[in-house]
Structure 1
């Protein structure tokens, strides 16, 4: 069961000590620069190692985001256009297709290898899916997707992997792709998530921004910061909240609290 809140968690003294210890040894400036330069390589290596096995299919998205359901649209004969940013190997788009949701789907990822896995899926059909590699921090996507042409963009566990200096650039790129009245459905890691607290010294790059062991990176969002980002990029906030849940694996005796941020943001207009 997921619990929705508008405030982050209250930290215990042990958790505060863990966060304070991370500041004793930060990622060096040179290392941080190389992580940015090699970001695409690290994600491509991630998919080389894990192929399609790492992430579970996201059958929860239509439960969390009712805008993805066919019955949300007034005229089901008109196929909506959806863009999934950071599609990975298709763990979100293919369950949507299996459930019979009607979209023309653009699916992009930073990793060329991930895009190839999408294209190899038996459900991939360019009559209703176009998968491609792109760097969403640049304007290259505008050569593939027309301005003001997309109804829904999903940004699920993607923005956190990008350098915070480029957050606004990403959101502005997506703003231009959306039709007036179009929406972004967002979910990502929340401030003081257990994964953030567990980082050891030597992994922190900047405030709330960390390096994982495999060279990929993760940012942890406060709700206030998230809402400000979307406002600066031209969006209005329809809804946003912290999502508190637990990851439970009885076989491995794991019971871990998790914190995510979730939101719906709209481009003004009709």
Structure 2
């Protein structure tokens, strides 16, 4: 069994059965017209996700301060600005606020207007501490809320995978414009050959490493090399970038599932 967290630069080696599963996915792809409709309806699908699940789906991400030391640093002097993209219902920022990091101001946005409303309804929400707004990070809308070169930290936790790969370039360019020189991006998302990718049946694959879930949301699975290339050619330096191997364990239900994520830290040059 793998330890709780195992970091590696190596892509997982597939078994013959897993290779067959991936090959079977190519037998029936998502039709082009449906893939285009998924892009048009992306916000609607995420809004419906939060309508169904409200604040119950995601657990608070208290692990982030363990994995990303930058979130533990206490600002000296001037206030630091942190921007969480894809805030959902606040599972990352509210645990940070509870730890009384009084010198941070939090900008948070989500594609779903409903998710943003859940954030604003949280008892810990205060406009003296947090500014929550709806935003499509693949557009220039974000600059209406946050000045350029004003951020110290940006977090992207399981966010970029929900965006079409054609728009990755625009997202990273926006991050570069928002961050101060030396500002950091803290990243975690799905890695290539994660269990969830291998489980997709024919009819769910849109394009290489991009899939459609049952609820109409999408998921992309990253390699370490392509993620590093995406950021370095857009003005960032790679500080760390590795696959994280974990297991989802539930002894009572006899669940033991391997997971693969990609965890990274990029610094604006």
Normalising to structure 1: TM-score of the pair?
Answer: 0.97
Per-residue deviation, residues 165-205 of structure 1 (Å, max 9, x unmatched): 00010010111000000000000000000000000000000
Cα distance in 1 for residues equivalent to 2:8 and 2:175: 27
Per-residue deviation, residues 197-242 of structure 1 (Å, max 9, x unmatched): 0000000000000000000000000000110111122111111100
Per-residue deviation, residues 129-163 of structure 1 (Å, max 9, x unmatched): 00000100001101110010000000110000000
Q: Which residue of 2 aligns with 1:50?
A: 53
Contact 1:168/1:232 (CA < 8 Å) preserved in 2? no
| Residue segments in structure 2 that go unaligned for 5+ positions in a row | none
Cα distance in 2 for residues equivalent to 1:204 and 1:234: 31
Q: Are 2:11 and 1:8 aligned?
A: yes
Contact 1:152/1:182 (CA < 8 Å) preserved in 2? yes
Q: Which residue of 1 aligns with 2:157?
A: 156
Q: Which residue of 2 aligns with 1:95?
A: 95
96-105 or 216-225, which deviates more = 96-105
Q: How does 1:51-200 map to 2 (within 5 A)?
A: 51-71=54-74, 73=75, 75=76, 77-102=77-102, 103-200=104-201
Number of residue pairs aligned between Structure 1 and Structure 2: 265
TM-superposed deviation, 1:78: 2.5
Cα distance in 2 for residues equivalent to 1:146 and 1:165: 25
Per-residue deviation, residues 86-140 of structure 1 (Å, max 9, x unmatched): 0000000001111222410000000000000000000000001000001000011
Normalising to structure 2: TM-score of the pair?
Answer: 0.97
Q: Which residue of 1 aligns with 2:237?
A: 236
Moved segments of 4+, more than 2 Å: none
Q: Which residue of 1 aligns with 2:256?
A: 255
Cα distance in 2 for residues equivalent to 1:57 and 1:168: 29
Q: Are 2:245 and 1:265 aligned?
A: no
TM-superposed deviation, 1:70: 3.2
RMSD, aligned CA: 0.8
Cα distance in 1 for residues equivalent to 2:33 and 2:177: 34
